[in-house]
Structure 1
């Protein structure tokens, strides 16, 4: 959604998931099924955004209904998820948006985590305005003109400046530094979660009000609220090395999967299946739309997708 980081974690049994803050601390908690010897069990880490929930819903459904595994899921934010994966408290992360420091620590140095290949989806963070606003003011999609229009984005929370809406404060965001370094008269205001951010965007869109928001793809909401990206200074390799001085756009990030190393070596059909799991942005958005917009139970959404995409997932079992 995002190159993100994490502060808190929430344990969730099954996939009756919501986006939002959690209460449990994964550094002190483990699934009773993770690393169970001799049992066909798998524990999957679930990030709080709906795209990640869609990955897990489909993987869980196939693991249970096609391969005969018991699947446990734990919702845990990104950095604690790496720690839990390294220690075997979860077996797999199916959507990572890029944490090179964690990758070096656990994959390259400690070798307690094994890279499991790409998810097949490329993620991108950016700043977006609703397309109806971009049609009214075509030059608003260039960051150099944002100060010209900052009055359109004043809210009660933005302190006399234009509001740049962000989601969860646990996501990695360069937005405060970008606003400062690009000398923009804007205030970053956190909605609190992906769900809260979506609610606010829907309210603005229903009233055809202006808004400027940190957002990301893949994301099902684009199908409901067409949005146009604001062009920030072009991303170049290394331009985000010092986040305090950053003045460039976010990169495009091929999303990756990771397995606990012991599970990768000894997880049998489940590990092989998760390594093979690879689908498209369209596939993920199809399931996400059912879960988040149509309010389907995640396993019902997974079943519907599995029933209509047999040739896709059959290849994952080979």
Structure 2
């Protein structure tokens, strides 16, 4: 009898092993982005999905255009875009997400709101009275931001691969300070190292940035004044809710984009979404439902970024701790 039970036990184990091999876990692939808010969000999503659904979650670093293309294809090479700033990804949003488009990408229903603009240190503003983007269009002010001694100030328009690198250069031209400054495109990590050095030496630094972000906790940063957004004026925006033929924002995606475009105002406040491939609704419907339910808050995101960047906490450790301590919020995201 013992021998028979042992054989049955072994058969059962073999059968279970075979069943598990056949029904392997689905893998959810998140597009890995290179700014802190996105890094924080993608790790929180990973922890929540792996703890609540029968899936593995992986990251893959890719250009934003490639992430959109992969989500559109729906083959699982990339399933999730964790931090879509819609005003900066408007072309892809209109192509893949909005009703009447390909509708191959979905988004969570409730976004958080982000703001952005040009920032300088508080000590520069206090000493030299630089309060507006128009104040930068003076050679004596530009010299405050000249690190290499060539007579031109430097400014950071964003990192390689970001669409806003172009729009910030258009703004520099349109506001009149482009002739006194040159754009320097480096990674976000290098920019933050430069910011730390600038504060230590009380030097000038001009850069595009956004909220939420931990640097606003660590440094006295001042956002330069820009005229208020009055609408998109270029023809390709005719169907956009913010279209205005006399609006302040005209970005032409042409070979001569800098010469053909004019932007003389701040960006509108931006709804920021999580995007995911519509194919997930058939492949892993409970994960798709969860992603649609997630409601983030800029206070959450700032807290996550601060823990990672200022306190040096590992992103996955931060995510696990936050999820463990905020199960009431996490449960509201469940399908």
| Band the TM-score falls in, shorter-chain normalisation | 0.7 to 0.9
State how far apart, in whole Å, the 2-side matches of 1:84 and 1:260 are.
8
Post-superposition offset of 1:49: 0.8
Given the alignment, which residue of 212, 216, 219 partners 2:210?
Answer: 216
Within 5 Å, give how 1:153-232 maps onto structure 2: 153-156=145-148, 159-171=150-162, 172-173=164-165, 174-184=167-177, 185-232=179-226
Within 5 Å, give how 1:1-318 maps onto structure 2: 39-88=25-74, 89-98=77-86, 99-107=89-97, 108-118=100-110, 120-137=111-128, 139-148=129-138, 149-156=141-148, 159-171=150-162, 172-173=164-165, 174-184=167-177, 185-238=179-232, 239-243=248-252, 244-318=261-335
C-alpha distance 242-66 of structure 1, shift in aligned 2 (>3 A): closer
CA contact (8 A) 1:57 1:298 kept: yes
CA contact (8 A) 2:108 2:294 kept: no
Give the superposed CA RMSD. Answer: 2.1
Q: Highest CA radius of gyration, 1 or 2?
A: 2
Post-superposition offset of 1:205: 0.9
State how far apart, in whole Å, the 1-side matches of 2:135 and 2:262 are.
21
C-alpha distance 210-233 of structure 1, shift in aligned 2 (>3 A): same
Q: Could you tell me which runs of 5 or more consecutive residues in structure 2 were left unpaired when the two chains were aligned.
A: 1-21, 233-247, 253-260
Post-superposition offset of 1:246: 1.8
SS in 1 for 2:118: strand
Post-superposition offset of 1:147: 3.1
SS in 2 for 1:234: coil
C-alpha distance 147-64 of structure 1, shift in aligned 2 (>3 A): same
State how far apart, in whole Å, the 1-side matches of 2:158 and 2:262 are.
22
State how far apart, in whole Å, the 1-side matches of 2:36 and 2:93 are.
24
C-alpha distance 300-219 of structure 1, shift in aligned 2 (>3 A): same
Deviates more, 1:223-232 or 1:293-302: 293-302
Deviates more, 1:274-283 or 1:291-300: 291-300
Post-superposition offset of 1:265: 4.1
State how far apart, in whole Å, the 2-side matches of 1:114 and 1:303 are.
26
Post-superposition offset of 1:56: 0.9
Post-superposition offset of 1:228: 0.7
Post-superposition offset of 1:268: 2.4
SS in 1 for 2:313: coil
State how far apart, in whole Å, the 2-side matches of 1:43 and 1:147 are.
45
Instruction: Give a deviation string over 1:46-91, Cα, whole Å, max 9, x none.
Output: 2111110111101111111232321111122211110011112212
Post-superposition offset of 1:37: 8.3
State how far apart, in whole Å, the 1-side matches of 2:296 and 2:176 are.
40
CA contact (8 A) 1:48 1:76 kept: no
Q: Could you tell me which runs of 5 or more consecutive residues in structure 1 were left unpaired when the two chains were aligned.
A: 1-35
Post-superposition offset of 1:124: 2.1
CA contact (8 A) 1:175 1:188 kept: no
State how far apart, in whole Å, the 2-side matches of 1:42 and 1:144 are.
46
